[in-house]
Chains A and B, each alone.
Chain A
Amino acid sequence: MALLEINDLKVEFGTRYGPVTALDGVSLEVEAGETLGVVGESGCGKSITALSVMGLIPSPPGKIAGGSIKLGGEELIGLPDKRLRQLRGSDMAMIFQEPMTSLNPVFTAGDQIAEAIMLHQDVGKAEAFNRAVELLDRVGIPEARRRASDYPHQLSGGMRQRVMIAMAVSCQPKVLIADEPTTALDVTVQAQIFDLLNDIQRDFGTAIIMITHDMGAIAEMADRVAVMYAGKVIEQGVADDILDNPKHPYAQGLIACIPALGKGDAGRPPPLAEIPGVVPPLHLLGEGCAFADRCAHKYDACAKAPVLGGDTAHPVACHASAEARI
């Protein structure tokens, strides 16, 4: 049994167009010590999946309409708030995209981490603060003791994200969810954060769910990958398989549209591969494959929604791929 098991998860949101299905039968697994990359454009349901696990779906308008989420065998759906609060921070933790707004501006970095420690462990204030300093040092903040008494606005974006990571790992969670953790950061800082997350995983055996729209980040971080589109997992497998041999036209597009960084050769690079159009709004999803309107391989079978299937190690939800038309 995997550490975290999401099975056939359905999440609905009430909108002005009536209820829409934001997640439609999502199943994922993460083992201890491994990183699952969840990739897709905005609006694909990546973040909703993460929030469901944390029990943080805003309700209303959202509600979990079915399925199960098990962490270490314990069913999370329907768990009383008190138990969920215990689990959040101690067994599972999350870091967000925007480190500026996810720290409280009126408390120092050290105090905020100490607070997180005291919530879950029976330690005094001084002890918690000392541990906060250790953690800051662990996440690579120089002069940790002095920095611990800095307020968030005195820290750079990269440092703030390190503080967030320190807070998230303060109770050595089993699962760490990173929702686009480096989108707001510079590339050199992004590289530092990636390395830090990989180090933490190696030292503590943390399972990481890495949410991103960037296949480059997936390559560096993920052991396994789930590609999401319009609330469904449409392809899943070992990272190398997905990156080298993507089966779904959407996954192929996501990889092909990245501007390459190779050597400069004479002349301008050819135009990038494009995925035309945009992710359809959820209330306009019909019966067929949600990607069909943007897909170059669309044919009559696509009028029916494909199901995730085929090779158990590398399943894909695509008629064209299943019938070897790609």
Chain B
Amino acid sequence: MSVILEAKDLTVRFPMPRKSLFAERQHLEAVRSISFQLEKGRTLGIVGESGSGKTTAAMASIRLTGPATGAVEFEGEDLFTLDDEAMRKRRADIQLIFQDPYSSLNPRDRVSHIVQEPLDLLEIGDEASRKARVEELFKLVGLRPDQLNLFPHQFSGGQRQRISIARALATNPKLIVCDEPVSALDVAIQAQILNLLAKLQEELGLSYLFISHDLGVIRQVCDDIAVMYLGRIVEQASRDELFTNPRHPYTQALLAAAPSLARRKSSGAKRPQQLKGDPPSPINPPPGCAFAERCPLAEAVCKQMPPPLENGVACHVANR
């Protein structure tokens, strides 16, 4: 199978405002030297909690965020070396679905215009064919043609997410980055959107880079999974591997913390493992393993040396 998107040593550092005129400028390392491959027609999930850098990593990999270093190859072409106009043209192939269906649609535009805009901007087809395409997209994502002239606020969250998906599909992209596309939705609506995404992937041969904090969602849609913690990938595996045999203590803790229908209050079921505290700050991250402070297995070496990603897991203990 061919690789559609590959990140190599991707790093994103945001400069922080200086504390004083003479203070050294501090940097927030949102993403620290991560590498991943997304194969054509498949879904790569990036899972992690807030502050793990998962969204920044995804945005950087399609050149939509600040100062990224490393390389990102889309169909073998390094996106970071393209000039602005070439990158703009390339955007037809790479699209995006956002988390918040309320802030991702321009409130002053009619939804038909929102969906048509990518075609206008990238000058695809004539006016009539663009209009026809918008109607076709509406049908594809399960909206009615009589809703074309409404404004975003006239739709529910789930319907807005459908509009967002229609916009992303307008230019017939090959890759769609889904940034927490269902985390703002009620569970009942979440299932509709996840099924829609799966159906579209099958019909259109799309590849997804799928960001989520919800392991249940990740298991439902992703073929391969990368777990991020404080800017680094701590575990990388296929779905079957990861859910059957999670190796990194953080992955194990995430799985243990996720709510489950099987863990009942009535039976007094307790979580096997309970994480304490919060992740450390990404400004001046600790020298060793970022998870060491919360890790039940941490040893002396963990606090001194960052563990390399070997055999799909970045953990001194698990790799022994």
Chain A residues with CB under 8 Å of chain B are: 35, 41-42, 142, 156-159, 186-192, 194-195, 198, 213-217, 219-223, 238-240, 243, 253-255, 257-266, 268-269, 271-276, 278
**10 interchain pairs, CB-CB under 8 A:** A156-B278, A187-B213, A190-B257, A192-B276, A219-B265, A238-B266, A239-B266, A257-B190, A258-B191, A272-B220
B309 lies within 8 A of chain A by Cβ:
no
Q: In whole angstroms, how far apart are the Cα atoms of A38 and B311 in the complex?
A: 45
CB <8 Å contact, A220 and B265: yes
Contact B261 A215 (CB under 8 A): yes
Complexed CA–CA distance, A99 and B199 (Å) = 37
Asked whether, in the complex, the Cβ of B259 is within 8 Å of the Cβ of A190, the reply is yes
- Chain A residue numbers with a CB within 8 Å of B257 are 187-188, 190-191
Chain B residues at the A interface, C-beta cutoff of 8 Å: 49-50, 156-159, 186-192, 194-195, 198-199, 213-217, 219-221, 223, 238-244, 253-266, 269, 271, 274-278
The reply to whether B265 and A222 form a contact with Cβ atoms under 8 Å apart is yes
Nearest residue, chain A, Cβ from B259: A216
Residues of A near B253 (CB, < 8 A) are 188
Q: Are B261 and A258 in contact (CB under 8 A)?
A: yes
Q: A269 and B278: CB pair below 8 A?
A: no
The 7 closest A-B CB pairs, nearest first, are: A216-B259, A264-B243, A257-B191, A259-B216, A264-B240, A191-B257, A186-B49
Q: Determine the residue in chain B with the shortest Cβ distance to A213.
A: B186
Of all chain B residues, the one with the shortest Cβ separation from A201 is B265
Chain B residues with CB under 8 A of A276 = 192
Query: Would A254 and B187 be within 8 Å (CB), given that A157-B50, A260-B216, A276-B192 are in contact?
Result: yes
Instruction: Check if B223 sits within 8 Å of A268, measured CB to CB.
Output: yes
What residue of chain A has the Cβ atom nearest to residue B183's Cβ? A183
Which of B190, B199, B238, B254 makes the CB contact (< 8 A) with A188? Answer: B254
- Given A191-B257, A259-B220, 14 more A-B residue pairs with CB atoms under 8 Å apart are A156-B278, A186-B213, A187-B49, A192-B275, A213-B186, A215-B261, A220-B260, A239-B266, A258-B261, A260-B220, A262-B243, A263-B243, A264-B240, A278-B159
Residues of B within 8 A of A243 (CB): 261, 264
In the assembled complex, how far is the CB of residue A74 from the closest CB belonging to chain B, in whole angstroms? 29
By beta carbon, the residue of chain A nearest B222 is A268
Residues of A within 8 A of B242 (CB): 264
